[in-house]
Structure formats: C-alpha cells, structure tokens
Amino acid sequence: MGTLLSAIVIAAAFVIVVVDPTSMLVFYALGAIVLATAGAVALQSRPAWFAAATLLGWAAVMIAQPLYLTDRQFNALRRVARRGDEEALAKIEFFEPLVPYATPLLLAVTVFFAVMVALVLRRTPLGAYRYLMDASNGLATACVRVGVTVALLYVPMMLIILYDVFQRKYLGWNPAFTDTSWYKMFTSTRLQEMEWHLHATLFLLALGYGYVKDSHVRIELVRDNLRPRSRVWIELLGAALFLVPYCYVVIKYGAENALRSYHIGEGSDAQTGLAHRFIIKGMLPVGFVFVALAGLSAVLKCIVYLFGPASLRDEASQYAGAQHQSTPAQA
C-alpha cells in the first residue's frame, strides 16, 4: 500500500506540472502529494519508489509553484475578466492575496519532504544506510529497464529508414507513385521526421541508463589519479550540486515548452510533415526525469560509500574506481 501511495505522489506530480496553474486541480494534486507522502512513510513504501516520489513530488511543487501566478498570468486573467468572465474575476480575487505566501509555501514543502525522509530513515528496520542502498539500486534498475525498453525503438527506426531509401529509389522508376494515396500518407518528409523523432526519444530516455552504467564519455585528466574516496566525493558533489539541479532546470523549462507547443497546436514546419510537435518536445523533460533519478541513485550510493558501514562498501563502490575499470572496495 505504501508503494501505491508513492505512485500516487508521482502521478500527482505530473498533474501539478501539466495542468493550468489557475485550475483547482493544482490544489487537489498538492494535497494528494502531501497526504500520499505521509501515508507512504506510515505504510513503509519500497525504498526506490519513495525516493522517486520524494524527488519528483518536491520538484513538481518547485516547478508549478502553487498559490503564485506571474504578472503575465495575472494580466491574462484581467483581460478575460474585463470581458465579463466571472470565473476569471474570482481567480484574481483568490490568487492576489496569496502571492506573498508563495515563498513560505515552497519552504514549508521543502521542510515537509526533509522531515518525511528523516522519519523514513529513522524507522527503517535494516538501518538507514541499507535503506539508501536499496533505494539507489531500485532507482538504477528503473533507469536500466527504461533504457533497455526504449532501445527497441531501433527496430522501427531502421525499418522506416530502409523503407524511405527504397521509396526514393522506386520513385526514380515510377514517378507516378507520388500521386497515390499511399505516398501522400507516407511522404519522405514524414518518414524523415519520424526517424529523428524515434532517435531523439531513444536518446533522451536512455540518458539515465547511460549514467547508471557509467557509459557516458568522461575526460579523466585528474580524477583517475586520485584516491577512491576522492573520486566518490567528486561524483557526489557533481551529481548533487550540478547534475540534479541542471535536470530541474531542463524539466521546468522543457515542460513549459512542450505545454506551449500543445496549446498552440504546433506541428511540423513542412506542410507534409508530422503534426503534434508537443509529443517529441515532451520527451525532453521526461528524459531528464530519468537522468535526475539516475543522479539521485548515484548520490545515495556515494553517501553509503563515504559514510556507511564497511559491509556495504563493496556494493556502493561503483564510483570509486577509474571509468571502465574494476572498482576498489577500500579507500
């Protein structure tokens, strides 16, 4: 049941980011995040699910910033209200007095999640470091499963490329084929756009998998010559201070960009291209969600290696060695 509540937190986090900030759904989602998180603590959610719910729930509140509207949003409501829309006028009267409380709310939500995490670590029967290690392994497993699954997109992508090449050659033999309904449905422009759509989706959703497997390119001019504990410190600070915050920025503005594309009905620049451009734009924030989860997995593993018991050091030593080499267990 606790794991189900963590899943509800993740779903509510998605809702709070994508819906209209003036909608009451934002408040319902915020309430669901708070109540479901507390329930996940009480009912002992699985470590990985709770870690993901905590990160995504907190980040969703920071991104959506409920109870706060920008000047542009207020101006849009005022324009509608001047045309006699009573609902818009009611929203203005509701949100204006709450603006000063937006920052205290964000701080309160941050403190709430910190307290929930502290309670979980204190109550875990196997010890806090074992819990962190299980959470790290679970997050890594989720990123690996997503990466392996999206790798299957290579199959339709290759088939589309082969068909596109064949169709071009065939047009050289039979130019009249361009007048058929089949060609109008599967024009070369649509095929090429579908190729890069699939490639972009595969690349973005596999980024977290790449980090978990430590397969991204590293320029190791200094790190390889340092002691194992120094390497882990570098990984911890890099993931906690740079990677995860950068993912937050990309998710925030990537989601805004995808939502804007959806609202304006953006499609391809080409007349015969694909419609619904918001789908591929939405892959950017989704992909970086898994990068953030992979970064959180690395942070937890580094914490266990640096501060945990010696019995867990071998399991947490992934980032203690040089890249693509065996990782030493001892500092």
Q: What is the pLDDT of residues 155-187, one digit of tens each?
A: 999 999 999 899 888 888 888 887 888 888 888
Phi, psi dihedrals of residue 172, rounded to the nearest 5°: -65, -30
CA angle in degrees (0–180, nearest 5) for 184-190-194: 145
Q: How large is the average pLDDT for residues 90-95? A: 80
Q: How large is the average pLDDT for residues 275-302? A: 94
In tens, the pLDDT along 184-240 reads 888 888 889 999 999 999 999 999 999 999 887 777 777 778 888 999 999 999 999
Residue 90: its pLDDT value, please?
A: 81
Residue 141: its pLDDT value, please?
A: 95
Q: How large is the average pLDDT for residues 100-117? A: 89
Residue 13 pLDDT > 80:
yes
Q: Which residues contact 97 (CB under 8 A, 6 or more apart)?
A: none
- Could you give the CA distance from residue 241 to residue 231 in angstroms, rounded to a whole number? 15
pTM, rounded to two decimals: 0.88
Higher pLDDT, 100 or 108: 108
Residue 43 pLDDT > 80:
yes
Q: Work out the angle between the directed axes of helices 102-123 and 128-150 (0-180°, nearest 10).
A: 110
In tens, the pLDDT along 46-63 reads 999 999 999 999 999 988
Q: What is the mean pLDDT of the chain?
A: 88
Residue 331: its pLDDT value, please?
A: 41
- Confidence at 330, pLDDT banded by 50, 70, 90: very low
Residue 237: its pLDDT value, please?
A: 94
- Confidence at 278, pLDDT banded by 50, 70, 90: very high
Residue 329: its pLDDT value, please?
A: 43
Residue 311 pLDDT > 60:
yes
- Could you give the CA distance from residue 79 to residue 59 in angstroms, rounded to a whole number? 31
Q: Which DSSP state fits 242?
A: I
Residue 325: its pLDDT value, please?
A: 55
Residue 24: its pLDDT value, please?
A: 78
Number of Cβ atoms within 10 Å of the Cβ of 280: 19
Q: What is the 3-state secondary structure (H, E, C) of 137-198?
A: HHHHHHHHHHHHHHHHHHHHHHHHHHHHHHHHHHHHHCHHHHHCHHHHHCCHHHHHHHHHHH
Residue 80 pLDDT > 50:
yes
For residues 211 and 291, is the Cβ–Cβ distance under 8 A?
Answer: yes
Q: Work out the angle between the directed axes of helices 154-173 and 188-205 (0-180°, nearest 10).
A: 160
Q: How large is the average pLDDT for residues 296-311? A: 94
Residue 161: its pLDDT value, please?
A: 93
Query: How many percent of the chain have pLDDT more than 90?
Result: 54
Residue 204: its pLDDT value, please?
A: 95
- Confidence at 84, pLDDT banded by 50, 70, 90: confident
- Could you give the CA distance from residue 50 to residue 8 in angstroms, rounded to a whole number? 11
Residue 327 pLDDT > 60:
no
Higher pLDDT, 83 or 289: 289
Residue 323: its pLDDT value, please?
A: 59
